[in-house]
Homo-oligomer: A and B are copies of this chain.
Amino acid sequence: MKLIENWFSERYSDNLELSFRIKDLLLSVKTDYQRIDVFDTYDFGTLLTIDGTVQMTQFDEYVYHEMITMVPASFLNENYSGKALIIGGGDGGAARRLLDVGFKQIVNVEIDNHVVEVSKRFYPDLASSFSDPRVKLIIGDGIEYARTTSEKFDIVIIDSTDPEGPAEGLFSEEFYANVEKLLTDDGVMVTQSGSPYYQPHALKMAVSGMGKVFGSVRTYVAFIPTYPSGFWSFTMGSRKGLGKVRELPTGRYFNSEVLEGCMKLPEFVKKLINEIT
């Protein structure tokens, strides 16, 4: 007798999909902004999807969260003030890593309160950052926040979904210009910028928009097995280029060698970037 199997499939395109065998659907909720599903999987622990797209799994969330925080944090000088802004990141994972590496004041602006609530229930280790007194959680529109706040930050992290739907404005030149104004002199912004293999448009939007605003734009990459193609890019912007490197503690993925290696880009990625700049 063949038992019925349950699978969650992410359709990467009309012609490619990755499927996870699941034990159970733990939660499914349609919010004002998006649909959130949480699955209990066999090999990847708890899996969170937004609008059918894998956001994170217990198995490999550390790669994304270490790389989106520790790489830019490596380029702050020793006198940095310790202030960070996270736009998106309602799971708390990015704030968690910033606290771990010594940030003193973090503002986290997440548009959808349900993401926070879901994370508190299913990823308590990550969401614990929201009960830390150093973290101020604002439920609101990050684009509006960036346009209107007068605060300054060493780092601004755009931890968003891909540039379709609610996150599209987070890949625009206008938004990047507002973020630039929030940075301290030596500050760095970073955004996730998609898979260079399957979503070159996300990388192009980030590099092209940031290129018009920042003196220096640098893309780096990481191996994230549960994201499309397993090959993920992040793009950093700074006014004067990235300076001397501060030694950070080693993570589960991040180390000082990874910091060096992640900016050495395959030729086809360099070409994608050169077509724009």
Partner of A15 from B21, B63, B251, B252 at Cβ < 8 Å? B21
Stretch at the interface among A134-142, A161-169, A201-209, A254-262: A254-262
- On whether the beta carbons of B253 and A257 are closer than 8 Å, the reply is no
- Tell me if A221 counts as interface (CB < 8 A to partner B): yes
Do B18 and A42 have beta carbons less than 8 Å apart?
no
Chain B: CB-nearest residue to A228? B225
In the complex, the chain B residue whose C-beta lies closest to that of A270 is B255
Of the four ranges (under 10, 10 to 19, 20 to 34, 35 or more), the interface on chain A belongs to 35 or more
Q: Select the residue from A195, A197, A254, A261 with max chain B CB neighbours within 10 A.
A: A261
Residues of B within 8 A of A197 (CB): 60, 223, 225
Taking a contact as CB atoms closer than 8 A, the residue among B42, B223, B263 that contacts A223 in the complex is: B223
Q: Does A29 reach chain B (CB closer than 8 Å)? A: no
* Partner of A225 from B42, B43, B44, B231 at Cβ < 8 Å: B231
Residue on B nearest A263 in the bound complex, by CB: B261
Within 8 A of B (CB), among A164-218: 195, 197-198
Nearest-neighbour CB distance to chain B for A121, whole angstroms, equals 23
Which listed residue, B225, B229, B254, B266, touches A258 by the CB 8 Å rule? Answer: B266
Instruction: List the B side residues contacting A225 at CB < 8 Å.
Output: 195, 197-198, 229-231
- Check if A20 is an interface residue, CB within 8 A of chain B: yes
Interface residues of A in 3-53 (CB under 8 A from B): 9, 13-21, 41-44
Check: A240 CB closer than 8 A to any chain B CB.
no
Which residues of B are found within 8 Å of A149, using beta-carbon distances? Answer: none
For A21, the chain B residues whose CB sits under 8 A away are 14-16
A247 at the interface (CB under 8 A from B): no
- The 8 A-B pairs at the shortest CB distance, nearest first, are namely A230-B230, A261-B264, A225-B229, A261-B261, A15-B42, A257-B264, A15-B21, A223-B231
For the complex with contacts A9-B19, A258-B265, 18 further pairs of A-B residues with Cβ separation under 8 Å are A13-B43, A14-B21, A15-B20, A15-B42, A15-B43, A16-B18, A16-B20, A18-B18, A197-B223, A198-B225, A223-B229, A223-B266, A225-B229, A254-B266, A254-B267, A258-B266, A260-B260, A261-B264
CB-defined A-B contacts under 8 Å, sample of 26: A14-B21, A14-B42, A15-B20, A15-B42, A16-B21, A16-B44, A17-B18, A60-B197, A198-B225, A223-B266, A225-B229, A225-B231, A229-B230, A250-B267, A253-B266, A253-B268, A254-B266, A254-B267, A255-B266, A257-B264, A257-B265, A258-B264, A258-B267, A260-B260, A261-B261, A261-B263
Q: Which residues of A contact B (CB under 8 A)?
A: 9, 13-21, 41-44, 60, 63, 195, 197-198, 221, 223, 225, 229-231, 250-255, 257-258, 260-268, 270
